Structure 1
C-alpha cells in the first residue's frame, strides 16, 4: 500500500557554496505569476483538486496561494487557512520527541528496541538509530494484505499500536539490522511506544507538551480519533478496496499513529520546517546525528533520522488516503516551502506532492530542484 509510505530522500546535507550558481529570487509579482502558472499547469496534468502553497525566504518576500477546490462536490475553493492531514510529516515529530529523550539521558540511539518493547523480531539487535533511519529490516505493516483489507473494509475503525505491529511481525524480517534501507512505518510505531515508556505519558500528550506548545504550534494536532478541525478540505484517494476514487475525509488516521496521524496547517508547517532543519529543540550534537544520512536503494537519495534532504531541501513529505504534504527547508537561503494537497493519487508513478514540489523549486531554486525518486 502506497499511502503513508511517502519515501524521503537526500543527496547531501551540505552543498558547497561554490556550487551555487544562482541566488534565491525576490518573490516579485513577476515571479509569483510564473509560480501561479506552473502550479496551475501541474495541477491540471496531475489531476490535483486543490493545493495550498507557502514559499518564503528572508529578504526575498513570501508567496502564499491556494489553488483549486477543497470540495469537488460543491466546488468550494481551497483556502490558505485550512487544516490538513500531514501523513508522514508526523514522523518528524515522533523522532524529535525521541531525540529530546536522548538529550535528557533517558535513552541512547544505539540502545536495542528489545530493551523497551518485547516481542520485536531481532529486537535485541535492532537499535533506535536503525529504526529512526529506516534500517531495521522489519516488514512494513502498511504493506500487509490483511492490513489493507482491514483498513479499506472499515476506514473508520481504530487501530492500536499493538494491532499494527502484529501485521508486521507475522512476516519474516527483510534483512539484517543496518544492512539495508527500507522505508517502514513499523519503525515509527515502535519509536512511539519508546517515547511513551520513557516520557511517562501518551505520545500525543508528550508531543503536545514538549514540541507543539513550546514552539507555539497551536494549529497542529495529534488526534486520538477521526476528529478533523474545521475548516478542512475533502481528501480524495484511490487507495480503496475497489480501486475507485473515494472521499477519505472522515477516515480514521489511527492506523498511522506515530508514523502519520497528525494534522496541521500552512503557517504551523512553515514554522516547523525551520525548527526541524535547524535543530531548535535539540542539542547541536543530537541534531548532527539526526542529519547524518545513509544511502538508499533509490539512486541519489538518502535518509537521516526521520528527515530527508533532496538537493539541499531538508524536511519530510507525507501521504495518507486523501492528503499529501511537503514540508521542507533550504538552509542555504533559509527558505521554506510547504505544500498541502487534498489527494494522494499518483501521477505517472510519482506522488503529486513530488510533482508540485519539482515544479515550484524548478522556478525559484533551479540548482536545488526537489525530485524524490521516480
Structure 2
C-alpha cells in the first residue's frame, strides 16, 4: 500500500517538473529519467537561490517525500567543517599547522613525524578506514578499559603508515577522525559542540549537527538501492553503522539550505580570515589537487575552464556532492539518501545550465 501511494506521489512530482520546466529542471528531469534520483538539490548564484528541490522519498513507510528542508547525512562534506575548525583554532592561537600529531595525541606511535598540515591535505600516510560493521568489530577489540574514541585511536595507531609523511597522497578518513580529536583536545569542547557554538548557531544552521543514529520526521532516511535505476521495489533501508566512528571524517548531517548558508558565510569571510580561506581552497599537495577538506579543479563550461572547489561523499545511506565555482559565485549541492551514487556529472550539468542560460545575472 505504501509503495503504491509513494509511486503516485513520485508521478505527480515528476509531472509537475515537466509542466514547469526551466534549465535546471530539465537537467534534473534527465537525471531522473536516466537513473532516478532521491534526495535534495540546491543551486545558487551569489545571494540568489535559483533552485531548491526534493525528489523521491524521505520515508517510504510513512509515505513522506523528500523536500529541500529534509536533513540528510552529508558524509565526507563533513571534512570541510573539520578543516575550517582547525583553521579557526589556528587563527585563535590554539594550534599551528606545523604542530605534530603527537602534540595532541601523544599515544599515537610515530605521531611526531606527522604534521597537522599533512593530515589536512591527505599526505600523512595514515591508512584510511570505511565505516562498516567490520570496522566497529575491529575497533572494539581495542576497547578493554578505553572509551570508543580511545579504542578507535588505538586501532588506527596499530596500522603501519603507508608512506613517509609528506611524500605521497592517500585519501584518509582516519586522518580526519584524528583531526576531530585534535579539535576536542585543543578547544576543550566536544567536536560537535565546537562546531555548533562557533559555526552552526552563529550562522543560523539550525538543521545541521552530528548524526548519532537518531532520526525523526525531519529526515530523509538512509536507504540502499539494489539496482542502478532507482525504483521503489529495489530500495531498502541502509545497513546500520555506528555513526560515532567517522567523527570529523563524515559524521555530520545537514540540509541544502543550511549548506547554502555555510557557503555564503565561508565565501564572505564570516567563517575564516581571507588568508585562511585562501589556504583552505588552494592546492597544498603537489601530488594531488587537495586543499584542506576540499579538492580543487577546473571544469570546461561554455568555452572556458572554470575553477571549482568541490568534495563528494558516500557512506551508508547517503551520497553527496558539493561544488563551489569560485569565479562565477555559483554553488551546487546534491544530497541523496541513497548510497553508492556519483553526482560529479550532475553537479557539472547544473552549473552549466546556470552559466549557459545566464541565470542569476539580472
Query: TM-score, normalization: structure 2?
Result: 0.78
Of 218, 221, 227 in structure 2, the residue corresponding to residue 234 of structure 1 is: 221
Shift of 1:186: 0.8
Larger RCO (CA within 8 A; separation ≥ 6): 1
Contact 1:139/1:171 (<8 A) preserved? yes
**Distance in 2 separating the partners of 1:305 and 1:103:** 15
Q: Deviations over 1:168-213 (max 9, x none)?
A: 3332211110111111111111111111111011111111111111
Select between 57-66 and 110-119 the one with higher mean Cα deviation: 57-66
Unaligned runs of 5+ in 2: 1-17, 140-146, 227-233, 299-306, 357-362
Q: Which has more radius of gyration?
A: 2
Write out aligned runs for 1:159-238 (5 A): 160-223=148-211, 225-237=212-224
Structure 1 stretches of at least 4 aligned residues deviating more than 6 Å after TM superposition: 148-151
Unaligned runs of 5+ in 1: 1-28, 152-158, 367-374
Contact 2:108/2:154 (<8 A) preserved? no
**Distance in 1 separating the partners of 2:46 and 2:103:** 45
Contact 1:55/1:63 (<8 A) preserved? yes
What CA RMSD, in Å, does the superposition of the two structures yield over aligned residues? Answer: 3.1
Contact 2:121/2:285 (<8 A) preserved? no
Q: Equivalent residue of 1:214, what SS?
A: helix
Of 56, 67, 71 in structure 2, the residue corresponding to residue 68 of structure 1 is: 56
Contact 2:42/2:53 (<8 A) preserved? yes
**Distance in 1 separating the partners of 2:67 and 2:344:** 21
**Distance in 2 separating the partners of 1:173 and 1:279:** 36
**Distance in 2 separating the partners of 1:61 and 1:220:** 19
Query: TM-score, normalization: structure 1?
Result: 0.75
**Distance in 2 separating the partners of 1:234 and 1:274:** 27
More helix by share: 2
Of 324, 342, 356 in structure 1, the residue corresponding to residue 346 of structure 2 is: 356
**Distance in 2 separating the partners of 1:275 and 1:164:** 33
Contact 1:112/1:123 (<8 A) preserved? yes
Identify the residue that residue 121 of structure 2 maps to in structure 1: 133
Write out aligned runs for 1:3-18 (5 A): none
